Copies of this chain bind each other. A is one copy, B any other.
């Protein structure tokens, strides 16, 4: 059965029942249909509560993904089964990839979040609100340079791009404002996907509405002819943009197939953005449960690094344990096996690929965090393959559990849940950040690239070098770095798999995001607007008169 077929056979509980499980009454939520709600209650965060936080990350994936969300959902269900009151906190899917290649992002099989069609499509409108707020700001900026421009904003130096939650490569590079005097000021610009927008990061890092407004106001939209930054606050657009985000700031409550309360909120990608769900949602989960299990996107080189270096300082809480999801398939892929061969036993490639897992283990341990490896079981795995991974982890003194969350849900994730609980309850994590927050952007990039990725050298483009000078002049030195790079490799080249060392890491350009509070470093040729494949998933979808949908994964 497909994911959507499994999902359609589940009888969901009314969302009011799910809310009750975590102590929320009817007035604490705003229903969106019968099975979705926004948390309406004031999210007064009490940092003194003894909540536990578990972060789920993974090794470098294959293009099909390694089922990290599936393991996360199964883990949440299993934790509740073994008597630990647990809430899952995860990101909202982006609609663009749903119609492209990736499919949905709500887990799979018997470890899914429901209602999966709604969550994978418009959900409660957060992504659309971000798109609208982003593009309203863009229109206000273009109107400003056409009408007045008393601040001298340079049309060539406007940094604020429009966005869409669509995979639309034709919008990567556009010329707008054509047609004459009454049609605006012509300029080169482009669209990003909403998940990569600064407002998405702002929403995910804001601690409340006032903080959101402050962050919106300090967004730098561009530079004057004298290269001075111009902010949203200077233009007077702060409140209008904030108004459009007031509901999107409220976390969404849904349920898993096993009725585990799940808070889904914020959806930045981890390759081209910071890859973590919102601070408000994670805090809400921690407030409402003894255990919060959450995820960060793609491999630990991307999402987890950003979780630990960008989100944790705002969140005010470090993970009590980290789960690294690995699959036989992805290890073999990292060890040189071809995609078409992953269904058969490839012991040689598997053993070679373990270097990728081990690099991620070492990296997470570098932060002082306890690690457990989850082997996400696929039907094609052999006992010998599983044994190779288990023995490798044991030789490193790292806990490991085989999970079967897809086929068995929480029941297939019990062993992992027990190991996680043991690790959390018996280990004391001593968190050490990867880099000094006071270091220069150059130093931070070099630390991440060398200590974390394995590079021997970082090459900054001429443009990036000039930007580093500019940041120093503007006093933007103390911001964390958010690296945008391929999810397939520790390098900036997606074909270099495994655990490479001694490579040169290339920074093409920086994008300062003062509202989000970090500086994006674009590595290699990473794009901030995905494209569609030759045969988009959209072509295979159907809907009938009774709203029954097929072709959503």
**Chain A residues within CB distance 8 Å of chain B:** 30-34, 38, 40, 95, 99, 121-122, 125, 128-129, 131-132, 135-136, 138-140, 142-143, 146-148, 162, 164-179, 182-185, 188, 208-210, 213, 236-237, 239-240, 242-244, 246-247, 531-532, 534, 536, 538-539, 541-543, 545, 547, 549, 551-552
Identify the closest chain B residue to A538 (Cβ): B240
- Asked if A143 and B122 sit within 8 Å, CB to CB, the answer is no
Name the residue on B nearest A537 (C-beta). Answer: B240
Selected from B138, B140, B539, the residue in CB contact (under 8 A) with A536 is B140
- Report how far A112 CA is from B460 CA in the complex, Å: 58
10 contacting pairs across A/B (C-beta < 8 A): A30-B33, A99-B140, A122-B132, A139-B169, A162-B171, A169-B182, A175-B178, A184-B531, A209-B547, A239-B543
Across the interface, A95 reaches (CB within 8 A) one of B132, B177, B209, B534, namely B132
Given A136-B99, A209-B547, A179-B168 contact (CB < 8 Å): no
Q: Which of A32, A167, A213, A240 has the most CB atoms of chain B within a 10 A radius of its CB? A: A240
CA distance A532 to B143 in the complex (A): 6
| A170 and B185 in contact, given A125-B122, A237-B539, A240-B99 (Cβ under 8 angstroms) | yes
A135 contacts across to B, CB distance below 8 A: 164, 166, 168
Residue of B nearest to A188 (CB): B178
CB distance from A245 to the nearest CB of B (A): 9
A542, B170: Cβ atoms closer than 8 Å: no
Complex Cα distance, B129 from A176, in Å, reads: 24
A7 to chain B, nearest CB (A): 15
Residue of B nearest to A186 (CB): B170
A239, B541: Cβ atoms under 8 Å?
A: yes
In-complex Cβ contact of A538 among B140, B166, B178, B208 (8 A): B140
- Contact A534/B32 with A132-B165, A168-B138, A170-B185 known, Cβ cut-off 8 Å: no
Q: How distant is the Cα of A136 from the Cα of B100 in the complex, in angstroms?
A: 10
Q: Collect the chain B residues with CB atoms within 8 Å of residue A175's CB.
A: 174-175, 178
Inter-chain CA distance A247–B33, complex, in Å, is 11
Other-chain residue from B129, B173, B236 in contact with A539 (beta carbon distance below 8 A): B236
Q: Choose from B169, B246, B543 the contact partner of A184 (Cβ within 8 Å).
A: B169
Q: How far is the CA of A465 from the CA of B16 in the complex (A)?
A: 60
Set of chain B residues within 8 Å of A162, measured between Cβ atoms: 171
Q: How far is the CB of A26 from chain B (nearest CB, A)?
A: 9
